[in-house]
Amino acid sequence: MQELLRVVYSGIVTTIPTYILHWYLEMELKKIQLQPRIPDGEDDEAGSTGLEGTAAVARDDSLTGRTKKFGDALGHVLPHMPSEHAELPQFFDTVEKRFTIYQVPAEVQTKLLIPILSSQAKTIIGRMTSSDLMSYNKVKQFLLTEFRLTPKRVQSTV
């Protein structure tokens, strides 16, 4: 004999075999597991597909939202830091021109610069204070100083 369950669905009381309920619950679980996730690991809103998260970040006016927006836009146009220290002035000049072209706000510039730095430069800026790391010009000057590129030497390489 089949076990029956009494179910209320949309105000209607009905009885269904338990194996159908188990099957239905397994299908719902599979749907949830196959749903795309929102990038930041936030919980899905009811009925969303996960695609709304990307659009929400693009409209987000928070620092994180602006950083993501400009990071996506500049991801393929910013050069990586050269291994030759003498090429640093040209590197910074190129980066600054791209920031101007794309109208990147000052508070986002350092956050976009750090990922394209060499591992050596990332280690060096690790010695900076967090407040100094917020300023693109301070990071740039710190790196130029650490790599011993004085103003006289910078002019001779340009």
Output the pLDDT for position 35.
73
When pLDDT is cut at 50, 70 and 90, the band that residue 57 belongs to is very low
Residue 85 has a pLDDT of: 87
Q: 24-54, pLDDT tens digit by residue? A: 777 777 777 777 766 555 554 545 544 455 5
Q: Could you tell me if residue 70 is inside a domain?
A: no
**Is the confidence at residue 119, as pLDDT, over 50?**
yes
Q: How far is CA 15 from CA 1, 6, 10, 22, in A?
A: 14, 4, 14, 14
Same domain (yes/no): 104, 44: no
Mean pLDDT of 101-129: 93
Task: Kindly tell me if the per-residue pLDDT of 102 is higher than 80.
Answer: yes
Same domain for 52 and 83, yes or no, is no
Q: Does the pLDDT value for residue 152 go beyond 60?
A: no
What's the rounded Cα separation, in Å, for the pair 8 and 6?
A: 7
- Say how many domains are in the chain: 2
The number of angstroms, rounded, from the C-alpha of 158 to the middle of its chain's C-alpha atoms is 34
- The CA distance from 157 to 11, in Å, is 79
Shared domain check, 53 and 25: yes
- 48 and 120 belong to one structural domain: no
Residue length of the chain: 158
Residues 74-101 pLDDT 10s: 888 999 999 998 899 999 999 999 999 9
**Domain limits for position 11:** 4-58
Task: Tell me, yes or no, whether 65 lies in a domain.
Answer: no
**Which tokens in the block code for residue 61?**
């006016």
Position 13 pLDDT exceeds 90: no
Distance CA 87, CA 9 (A): 70
Residues 144, 96 share a domain: yes
